[in-house]
Amino acid sequence: MLIVIIALLPTSVFGIYNFGLRALIHMLISVATAVLCEFLMNKIRKQPVTVGDLSAVVTGLMLALNVPVALPFWETALGSAFAIVIVKMLFGGLGQNFMNPALAGRCFLVIAFAADMTNFNCDAYSGATPLASIRAGESVNVMNMLIGKTGGAIGETSALCILLGAIIMILFGVIDLSIPAGYIISFVLFMGVFGGHGFDSTYLVAELCGGGLMLGVFFMATDYVTSPITPVGRVVYGVCCGVLTGLFRCFGANADGVSFAIILSNLMVPVIEKITVPTAFGVVRVREVKKDEKNNS
Amino acid sequence: MAKTFRGGVHPYEGKELTEDKPVVPYEPKGLMVYPLSQHIGAPAVPCVNKGDRVLRGQKIAEAGGFVSAAIFSSVSGTVQSIAPHRVANGDMVSSIIIQNDGLYEEVIFDVAADPYTLSEEEIIGKIKDAGIVGMGGAGFPTHVKLSPKEPAKIDHIIANCSECEPYLTSDYRQMIDDPGSLVEGMKLILTVFRKAKGVFAIEDNKPAAIEAVSELIKGERRMEICVLKTKYPQGGERQLIKAVTGREVNSKMLPADAGCIVDNVATLVAVFNAVKYGRPIMNRLFTVSGDAIEDPQNYLVYTGTSMKELLEEAGNDPEKTAKYISGGPMMGFAMFDTDVPITKTNSSILAFTEDEVSKNKTTACINCGKCVEVCPERLVPSRLAKMADHGDAAGFEKWYGLECIECGSCSFICPAKRPLAQSIRIMKRSVLAAKRKK
């Protein structure tokens, strides 16, 4: 968990640099609320205190990175409390939740406070986010999107910082590439076919860097608890996320669709695992033999 | 390129404690205990009575069936009693207990002038008469292993020289000190299977052993060395066959179904002694190691010797020992009583000043998938353990729980310190027991 927090630091620091002190306050409030909620739930349910595992810190930080800087602070706190209390603790705490708590918290906020959650105007930036601009048919500055000097949620704008975090996690063996690869490849293919711009590289890079995609691919979709454990299942799940994100972006009402795509895919995990149970060592041979026997008879 | 299998772990090896120490012969002081069940299959049936005088090498129990093995006295002396005695895995097993007279008077053994001219049946017969079983731990009677349904299909005889369990060095010492007996044992088995080639599968952390065996098999057309990557459980039978031949064996198959017969170092040496000199298993190499042992050693012991004696000999203070393990740390048994006899299949006892495992605090499974990465059997240990804890037998079978080889790699790697292999092992037992009832 500590490595995940370290991996989130580049994009967190960039968020503060990009959006100012208010971004830091969001992070502090969100983390504090998450940790406090977990602690209180432990106490109420007379369980051992589990805040030491740092997973609440990760959830709180991720949620803060997923909200626009202009959001009222109390709404961030509410989202964080929802993530921990409803999504995580009521289902049994760490390892038992079936949705990514931070994303569920974000989706809760999007539904509850739709206007606040899509208001990306702030001191630094005003006007449409790059994704909204693409949707409106305007051109966008891809370089700025890579670096992150655009409007958007606090921690999702800088593709480079997120990639830096992703590299840290990969080097430490925290995540592997099966989910991100499945996600990105299927998403690119989907957007190429249905996005209306063909396989135009500028367009595709802009779509990849836009919205919460990068953060979602590397930090949310790869969440152990809510992704399949079977090796093939991970790829299938990544593809699910990619296709759903593409679907929501091309045909949905929202400019972004990452959070909903991932939590819907979270719900499909049990089914994905069921159909991708790895065949045990040496068992394939036997099946082939049986098939041959059938063919012969 | 060293060959290997997919998955596995790299535990601390601990072999430096004993690997460079020459073998020390040890003469037993106390009572000698010979459990009637030292092998897979029916227990042996005693053929001596209380009060009888027996010689070293005398048969004291007959095989109790085809899948069974005879047992021999390793000392001369008097049968004191036939009574239940504790063995290394904690069970009480009916045993022949002999008072050692210290004379080591031997019976006359049937020495073969040229064992390589014997017929297949004669060789297997001699192996059977010597009560030889797999000495790596499982104790499968060797004559049964050498009598597959279709002998003509056997094309690989694999000498399991990988000794992948940490701390164990008895097979290694055998390869360094006396590789000749090992190679001769292989030659005899190749006489039985005329179409097969003999492969010595050795991990690449044992270069001296690779060199010693290579030197001896120079010019032997039917023998070769296969260098394996050092990784646990490389010496697991199925993993070994995969690494050497690329073939996969599952729980319902025997190695012979993949054209292989696998025997470990000590077993091949025993085969040579049995066929050439007519000598049954009476001694074996035995490692005493761990950080609670003052002077870790490889001993040449008489079977039936109490492990407790060897611990004292090697300088172990029971007061300062938190844990005793019979066998290797990965698959061995934790012991509550060390006064147990060394049988044909015991290769070591380890003593540790700290019980690291019981100090571990188990936390929640976060589905990280490390256990899936390391499982050599391509299973999903965390799921299987959950099904085991919930008693979900159907799910357990569907997720191939019965294929588990109980190597313990999942428990070893688990960041939440969950006892995965232990849960799976218990469930496997109960599922198999339920199947037998049907």
pLDDT single digits (tens) B244-283: 999 999 988 899 999 999 999 999 999 999 999 999 999 9
Average pLDDT, chain A: 89
Q: What percent of chain A has pLDDT over 70?
A: 95
Question: So what's the pLDDT on residue A296?
Answer: 45
Q: Contact B148/B237 with Cβ under 8 angstroms?
A: no
The length of chain A in residues reads 297
Residue type, A43: K
Question: Of B61, B70, B76, which Cα lies nearest the Cα of B28?
Answer: B76
Instruction: For chain B, say whether A231 makes contact (Cβ under 8 Å).
Output: yes
B-contacting residues of A 136-195, CB under 8 Å? Answer: none
pLDDT surpassing 80 at residue A89: yes
If you average pLDDT over residues B37-65, what whole number do you get?
93
Angle subtended by helix axes B179-192 and B265-277, to nearest 10: 70
pLDDT surpassing 90 at residue A268: yes
pLDDT surpassing 90 at residue B112: no
If you average pLDDT over residues A125-150, what whole number do you get?
80
Compute the distance between CA of residue B292 and CA of residue B290 in angstroms, rounded to an integer. 6
Compute the distance between CA of residue B57 and CA of residue B74 in angstroms, rounded to an integer. 6
Place of tokens 């949707």: A135
Place of tokens 């830096």: A164
Place of tokens 């500055």: A141
CA distance A32 to chain B (A): 22
pLDDT surpassing 70 at residue A289: no
Question: Of B244, B175, B182, B242, which Cα lies nearest the Cα of B210?
Answer: B175
pLDDT surpassing 60 at residue A290: no
pLDDT surpassing 50 at residue B290: yes
In three-state secondary structure terms, A130 is helix
Question: So what's the pLDDT on residue B136?
Answer: 85
Q: What percent of chain B has pLDDT over 90?
A: 82
Question: So what's the pLDDT on residue B176?
Answer: 93
Provide the sign of the torsion angle of the four alpha carbons A19, A25, A30, A35, taken in this order: positive
Q: What percent of chain B has pLDDT over 70?
A: 100
Task: Work out the pLDDT band at A164, boundaries 50, 70, 90.
Answer: very high
Question: Of A92, A83, A82, A79, which Cα lies nearest the Cα of A50?
Answer: A92
Q: Which of B156-165, B193-202, B353-362 has the lowest mean pLDDT?
A: B353-362
If you average pLDDT over residues B287-295, what whole number do you get?
93
Taking CB atoms and an 8 Å limit, are B363 and A231 in contact across chains? no
Provide the sign of the torsion angle of the four alpha carbons B427, B428, B431, B432, taken in this order: negative
Question: So what's the pLDDT on residue B1?
Answer: 67
Q: Which of A223, A281, A285 to mutate to test binding with chain B, by most B CBs within 10 Å of its CB? A: A281
Q: A140 CB contacts (<8 Å, ≥6 apart)?
A: A130, A133, A134, A206, A210
Question: So what's the pLDDT on residue A292?
Answer: 47
The length of chain B in residues reads 438
For residue B261, list its beta bridge partners: B157
Instruction: For chain B, say whether A285 makes contact (Cβ under 8 Å).
Output: yes
Please, is A201 exposed, middle or buried when counting C-beta atoms within 10 Å of its C-beta (0-12, 13-18, 19+)? exposed
Question: So what's the pLDDT on residue B137?
Answer: 80
Taking CB atoms and an 8 Å limit, are B252 and A286 in contact across chains? yes
Compute the distance between CA of residue A69 and CA of residue A116 in angstroms, rounded to an integer. 10
Helix H or strand E segment including B195: none
Task: Work out the pLDDT band at B405, boundaries 50, 70, 90.
Answer: very high
Q: A6 CB contacts (<8 Å, ≥6 apart)?
A: A168
Largest CA distance in chain A: 77
Read off the pLDDT of residues A29-77 as tens digits, 9 standing for 90 and up.
999 999 999 999 999 999 889 898 899 999 999 999 999 999 999 999 9
Residue A253: DSSP 8-state: S
Question: So what's the pLDDT on residue A133?
Answer: 81
CA distance A158 to chain B (A): 27
Tokens, residue B24: 């020390």
Helix H or strand E segment including B145: helix B142-145
DSSP A139-202: ---HHHHHHT-S-SBTTTS-HHHHHHHHHHHHHTTS--SHHHHHHHHHHHHHHHHHSSSTT-HH
**Which of A50, A55, A283 has the CB atom closest to B400's CB atom?**
A283
Q: Which of A126-140, B4-18, B238-252, B411-425 has the lowest mean pLDDT?
A: A126-140
CA distance B248 to chain A (A): 4
Task: Work out the pLDDT band at A284, boundaries 50, 70, 90.
Answer: low
Residue B105: DSSP 8-state: P
The torsion angles phi and psi of B230, rounded to 5 degrees, stand at -80, 110
Distances (CA, A) of B388 to B365, B376, B393, B396, B427: 14, 19, 7, 7, 5
Task: Work out the pLDDT band at A285, boundaries 50, 70, 90.
Answer: very low
Beta strand pairing call for B197-203 and B223-228:
parallel
Q: Which of A137-141, A271-275, B83-87, B96-100 has the lowest mean pLDDT?
A: A137-141
Instruction: For chain A, say whether B362 makes contact (Cβ under 8 Å).
Output: no
Compute the distance between CA of residue A144 and CA of residue A23 in angstroms, rounded to an integer. 19
Q: A215 CB contacts (<8 Å, ≥6 apart)?
A: A11, A62, A65, A66, A155, A156, A162, A258
Tokens, residue B307: 């492990």
Largest CA distance in chain B: 64
Compute the distance between CA of residue B288 and CA of residue B337 in angstroms, rounded to an integer. 16
Compute the distance between CA of residue A167 and CA of residue B57 in angstroms, rounded to an integer. 65
Q: Which of A250-259, A264-273, B428-437 has the lowest mean pLDDT?
A: A250-259
Taking CB atoms and an 8 Å limit, are B365 and A283 in contact across chains? no
Please, is A162 exposed, middle or buried when counting C-beta atoms within 10 Å of its C-beta (0-12, 13-18, 19+)? buried
Question: So what's the pLDDT on residue B138?
Answer: 83
Question: So what's the pLDDT on residue A210?
Answer: 85
Instruction: For chain B, say whether A238 makes contact (Cβ under 8 Å).
Output: no
Ranges of beta strands (E only) in B303-393 are 323-326, 333-335, 348-352
Instruction: For chain A, say whether B248 makes contact (Cβ under 8 Å).
Output: yes
Question: So what's the pLDDT on residue A286?
Answer: 46
Instruction: For chain B, say whether A275 makes contact (Cβ under 8 Å).
Output: no
Instruction: For chain A, say whether B252 makes contact (Cβ under 8 Å).
Output: yes
If you average pLDDT over residues B325-346, what whole number do you get?
92
Measured between CA atoms, the residue of chain B closest to residue A50 is B363
The pTM is what? 0.88
Question: So what's the pLDDT on residue A295?
Answer: 45
**Other C-beta atoms within 10 Å of B158: how many?**
26
Alpha helices, H only, A195-230? 201-209, 213-215
CA distance A225 to chain B (A): 5
Cα three-residue angle A106-A111-A112, rounded to 5 degrees: 95
Order across the sheet with B77-86: list the strands: B32-35, B92-100, B77-86, B53-54
If you average pLDDT over residues A207-215, what whole number do you get?
89
Question: So what's the pLDDT on residue A294?
Answer: 44
Residues of A in contact with B250 (CB under 8 A): 280-283, 285-286
If you average pLDDT over residues B114-142, what whole number do you get?
91
Task: Work out the pLDDT band at B182, boundaries 50, 70, 90.
Answer: very high
Residues of B in contact with A285 (CB under 8 A): 248, 250
Order across the sheet with B323-326: list the strands: B24-25, B297-302, B283-289, B348-352, B323-326, B333-335
Q: Give Cα A277 to chain centroid, integer Å.
A: 25
The torsion angles phi and psi of A201, rounded to 5 degrees, stand at -65, -40
In three-state secondary structure terms, A280 is coil
Half-sphere exposure (CA, 13 Å, Cβ side) for B86? 13
Residue type, B175: M
CA distance B399 to chain A (A): 6
Compute the distance between CA of residue A95 and CA of residue A247 in angstroms, rounded to an integer. 29
Question: So what's the pLDDT on residue A291?
Answer: 45
Tokens, residue B340: 């147990």
Question: So what's the pLDDT on residue A118?
Answer: 85
**Other C-beta atoms within 10 Å of B102: how many?**
11
Instruction: For chain A, say whether B369 makes contact (Cβ under 8 Å).
Output: yes
